[in-house]
Amino acid sequence: MKAEKVVPVKKNEKHTVKIEDLTHEGMGVAKIDGYPIFIENALPGEEIEIKIHKTGKSFGYGKSMKRLTSSQNRVEIKDENYTRVGITPLQHMTYSSQLTFKRQQLRNVLARIAKMPEVPVFETIGMAEPWGYRNKAQIPVRKIDDKLTTGFFRKNSHDLIPMENFVIQDPKIDEAVVIVRDIMREFNVKPYNEGANTGNLRHIIVRRGYHTGEIMIVLVTRTAKLFPTSKILPAITEALPEVVSIIQNVNPSRTNKILGSENITLWGQDYFTDTLLGNTFEISASAFYQVNPQQTEKLYQTVLDYAELTGTETVIDAYCGIGTISLSLAKNAKEVYGIESVEAAVENAKNNAKLNNIDNVTFEAGLAEEVMVEWSEKELAVDLLVVDPPRKGLEGTFIEATLAMMPKKIVYVSCNPATLARDLALLSEGGYSVEKVQPVDLFPQTNHVESVTLLVKK
């Protein structure tokens, strides 16, 4: 029988450790008798006095009590609360070291999961000003000290920490959240009580066009009633003249999902607009639109560079959303086919094609893996496939349909290095060569990294 592995530390013990590495989430890793301890706000090379606060069979967690030495990659943090709620887990790192860390994440998974250590991973494309970049805020509403309050949940909990300045959001959005919150207080709107499933206002969502300045307000409520709308709406539009759309989203479920399925247009239009790479886009309340517009342009430009379209190609853009990549590709392609599962986004995409006078794009509503199977059975001849899947990556049936079609090139936009590496291994086995990977930092101060990978048929 194998001897039970002995955990060499106990809860509440104090130890002095040296940080050896970072996890993919950006936590420091120290080892005590080979047993890994993960520590927030810690950087490689630093010596730290820690207190053990959780142990498991294979690893534990420690809290930094006193830093004895500091890394040259450390900067002063803006506010501990940002780490507590998890919105800026890397705020203690210099920005250049964040970019290096993100590149290394991709190199690690390509070597470990895809078994492709030789694939070039270029330096991460960063931002000149890596703060105040987010064009969308989804802010929970709760009652604290008998007042409707906005803020953010402490990590791994539903305890709201009151906050007004989120530092990574467009400052105009932070201002708008506070204005809407104060209006809700003024008219005695009842904040949501999660435990009792009572009250009404669950979230305030603000979306803003980076280039247009247009603002959409989404009020997420438990019930379809929202009183007194006749006073709330003029108060919002008077205080925020940039608002073009006020939507009520009804979410009656006891769930962690922010949005429900019902949208009611309370005022203005049911979308706001923004521009990206010279195209104008209508964006509805439920539609996906990248949250960092400055870096999205760099991300999509990399897609166009890797595509190298000449005007003769047939292209599929899977997970196309409101058509942001499809319409950029269409300008230099013969025909583009977009696939998207969210029907409202498909409607946006069709409108966006008309808005930009682009007539060589066809948008199909459906699950990407199902539509791809249909098209492969119809033997659609495809020169280029562009994919931008959610974090879970590509479905097995999607990859099978792709290998049946065998487009000459695949450009894979990924927001999750681990699932990217898994999918690259499968596509490589199926007959593709993985040529190069370009990381792009869409989420400064966080551990997330987007990337664009070029695959070519062998």
Q: What is the CATH number of the domain that holds 448?
A: 3.40.50.150
Indicate whether 332 and 231 sit together in one domain.
Answer: no
Same domain for 296 and 433, yes or no, is yes
Report the first-to-last Cα separation within the chain, whole angstroms. Answer: 49
415 part of the active site:
yes
Same domain? 453 vs 312: yes
Q: Beta strands 136-144 and 47-55: pairing type? A: unpaired
Q: Is 29 left (phi over 0), alpha (psi -120 to 50) or beta?
A: beta
The answer to whether residues 121 and 215 belong to one domain is no
| 321 and 195 in a common domain | no
Partners of 149 in the beta sheet?
142
| 43 within 8 A of 73, measured Cβ to Cβ | yes
Q: Are 294 and 127 in contact (CB under 8 A)?
A: yes
83 in a structural domain: no
Written as six digits, the tokens of 257 are: 């999902």
The first and second tokens of residue 41, run together, are 């706000």
Q: How far apart are CA 27 and CA 86, in angstroms?
A: 12
User: Which domain covers residue 26, as residue numbers?
Assistant: 14-74
State the Cα–Cα distance between residues 131 and 424, nearest whole angstrom: 32
| Domain membership flag for residue 54 | yes
Whether residues 53 and 121 share a domain: the answer is no
Phi, psi (deg, nearest 5) at residue 60 = -135, 180
Per-residue confidence in pLDDT tens, the chain, 458 aa: 555 678 999 999 999 999 999 999 999 999 999 999 999 999 999 999 999 999 999 999 999 999 999 999 999 999 999 988 999 999 999 999 999 999 999 999 999 999 999 999 999 999 999 999 999 999 999 999 999 999 999 998 989 999 999 999 999 999 999 999 999 999 999 999 999 999 999 999 999 999 999 999 999 999 999 989 999 999 999 999 999 999 999 999 999 999 999 999 999 999 999 999 999 999 999 999 999 999 999 999 999 999 999 999 999 999 999 999 999 999 999 999 999 999 999 999 999 999 999 999 999 999 999 999 999 899 889 999 999 999 999 999 999 999 999 999 999 999 999 999 999 999 999 999 999 999 999 999 999 999 999 999 99
Strands (E), 110-255: 136-144, 147-153, 160-162, 201-208, 215-221, 243-250
Does residue 241 share a domain with residue 304? Answer: no
Residue tagged active-site, from 243, 372, 387, 415:
415
Q: Give per-residue burial for 355-375: e unless 16+ CB within 10 Å, then b.
A: bbebeebebbbeebbbbbbeb
Structurally, the chain folds into a number of domains equal to 3
Same domain, 249 and 198: yes
Q: Is residue 96 part of a domain?
A: no
Strands (E) across 222-278 are located at 243-250, 262-268, 271-276
CA-nearest of 174, 187, 242 to 214 is: 242
Whether a cis peptide bond, with omega within 30° of 0, leads into 439 is: no
**Which residue in the block uniquely carries the two structure tokens 């004895």?**
68
> 3-state DSSP call for residue 265?
strand
305, 426: one domain: yes
Reduced to 3 states (helix: H, G, I; strand: E, B; else coil), residue 214 is coil
Global pTM value = 0.94
- Residue 86 covered by a domain: no
CA distance 177 to 168: 14
DSSP reduced 3-state for 360: coil
Which positions ≥6 away from 208 have C-beta within 8 Å? 135, 136, 170, 172, 173, 176, 214, 215, 216, 242, 272
Domain shared by 112 and 260, yes or no:
no
Supply the pLDDT for residue 3.
Answer: 57
With beta carbons less than 8 A apart as the criterion, state whether 269 and 239 touch.
Answer: no
Q: What is the CATH number of the domain that holds 162?
A: 2.40.50.1070
Q: Are residues 361 and 329 in the same domain?
A: yes
CB neighbour class for 236 (10 Å; exposed up to 12, middle 13-18, buried from 19):
buried
Predicted pLDDT of residue 2: 57
pLDDT for 183:
98
